[in-house]
Amino acid sequence: MRISVIGCGYLGAVHATCMAELGHEVVGIDVDENKVAELAAARAPFFEPGLEALLKKVQTTGRLTFTTDMSAAKGSSVHFICVGTPQKKGENGADMSYVDAATRTLLPYLSADDIVVGKSTVPVGTAARLHEVVQSAEPSAELLWNPEFLREGHAVSDTLQPDRLVYGVLSGAEDHPAVHLLDQVYAAPLETGTPRLVMDLPTAELVKTAANSFLATKISFINAMAELCDAAGADVTLLADAIGMDSRIGRQFLNAGIGFGGGCLPKDIRAFMARAGELGADQALAFLREVDSINMRRRVRVVELTRELCGGSLLGQRITVLGAAFKPESDDVRDSPALSIAAQLQLQGAVVTVTDPEALANAARRFPDLNYVNSTDSALQRADAVLLLTEWQDYRDLDPYVTAALVSTPRILDGRNVLNSTKWRTAGWKYRGLGRP
């Protein structure tokens, strides 16, 4: 099939590449000339395992092209909208200007019976509104909502082998021709048994925000338990292992630590609350405010614990922060708790050095005043305290004896509860976890 993918950021670049891998002829369209040039040269504009190799592979087939020219969408029968919906400045709601602009710019290039498929995370009600916009330009075209659930760091496999496909369609009816067209796009994952759920537009939009809210709630739940464990002298890691063995609860997303960040969970729960308010259902999501504040409290707690670890004052203390990305296997620093903690420590008088295997360039753009060092060993030199804030495998594998020889004072705060505390203490370290005795 001929497919256009509008917006080549995280979601769109991965989606375009994966659709070409599935055998389709794909044009990726973005307003950012640099991004288009990078992608056209088969270079991933961000770090995502497996993406660049796949880009190179599919570009040799000639099935994948990139352009800034929207008219290239003409002739495609399926148009995916993959642009971002960031948090509005100074407000909780989502900024819809990119989705609206992408849809409107596409209208002149729609042909009879085309489908426009929204993938961006949007406030419920957006799809119905855009459906009218699309049909006013091309009455035989249909707009569907097909939310994306990919995780950074696993984006390629999440797109090629999704755990479910959700199609929102105005009628909610499975026998709609647009549903058959989208089935052809996803023929490969459907053949391997990927479940596909067809529903009305608002339900499809809500599936995404509800899923992200649940994940955020799960993380904040275990972080609230970590606060309690700290107060009671209990161990949140063992607690998570034990409650996670109940299959109704499950162990995933029960890792207590410095909390969630990134380009999705924080802004999605805020946009969801804002939308619920507009719909007069704000009480239903009042608990998400608590989820958000538990999460933000983690960052304050780590700063306090670091002060304690350093003997009561941060002034002049040399702190090495391991990890700047919001999670491992990513160079994304959007709302990264690690980076926000590093910046806070520096503001409070510490001398902070940050290292990360992939995210330093992005981190330096966001917080230019912090000191960034590429090599882990150099970053650790003469540290008064070490903070492990993003659990890259390299940091999990650090040897406590070798590391002790590099630092000035062997003190470590394990912000992700991933180190073996006994091993580190035996090697002479003062070890602090979060919610661990």
| Residues forming the active site | 264
Six-digit token string for 156? 């390629």
Residue 272 lies near ligand UDX (rule: CB under 6 A)? no
Residues 94/122, Cβ–Cβ less than 8 Å = yes
Residue 49 lies near ligand UDX (rule: CB under 6 A)? no
Residue 51 lies near ligand UDX (rule: CB under 6 A)? no
CB of 165 to ligand UDX, least distance (A): 14
Beta strand 430-432 with 64-67: parallel, antiparallel or unpaired? Answer: unpaired
Length of the chain: 437
> Which positions from 276 through 305 interact with ligand UDX, judged by CB under 6 A?
none
Contact segment (CB under 6 A) with ligand UDX among 146-154, 227-235, 352-360, 362-370 equals: 146-154
CB of 206 to ligand UDX, least distance (A): 14
Number of C-beta neighbours around residue 242 at 10 A: 11
Residue 215 lies near ligand UDX (rule: CB under 6 A)? yes
Contact segment (CB under 6 A) with ligand UDX among 15-23, 144-152, 196-204, 374-382 equals: 144-152
CB of 421 to ligand UDX, least distance (A): 18
CA atoms within 13 A on the CB side of 110: 26
Residue 150 lies near ligand UDX (rule: CB under 6 A)? yes
Instruction: Give, for 312, the enclosing helix (H) or strand (E).
Output: none
Residues 12/53, Cβ–Cβ less than 8 Å = no
Residue 262 lies near ligand UDX (rule: CB under 6 A)? yes
Residue 321 lies near ligand UDX (rule: CB under 6 A)? no
Residue 333 lies near ligand UDX (rule: CB under 6 A)? no
Residues 153/328, Cβ–Cβ less than 8 Å = yes
Beta strand 165-168 with 385-388: parallel, antiparallel or unpaired? Answer: unpaired
Instruction: Give, for 238, the enclosing helix (H) or strand (E).
Output: helix 236-244
Shorter beta-carbon distance to ligand UDX: residue 287 or 402: 287
Shorter beta-carbon distance to ligand UDX: residue 56 or 151: 151
Distance CA 437, CA 433 (A): 8
CB of 437 to ligand UDX, least distance (A): 20
CA distances from 415 to 254, 362, 432 (A): 14, 21, 8
Residue carrying the six token digits 């497996």: 50
Name which position in 47, 66, 98, 260 contacts ligand UDX (CB under 6 A): 260
Instruction: Give, for 117, the enclosing helix (H) or strand (E).
Output: strand 115-118
CB of 84 to ligand UDX, least distance (A): 12
Residues in contact with ligand UDX by the rule CB under 6 A = 148-152, 212, 215, 219, 253-255, 257, 259-262, 264-265, 326-327
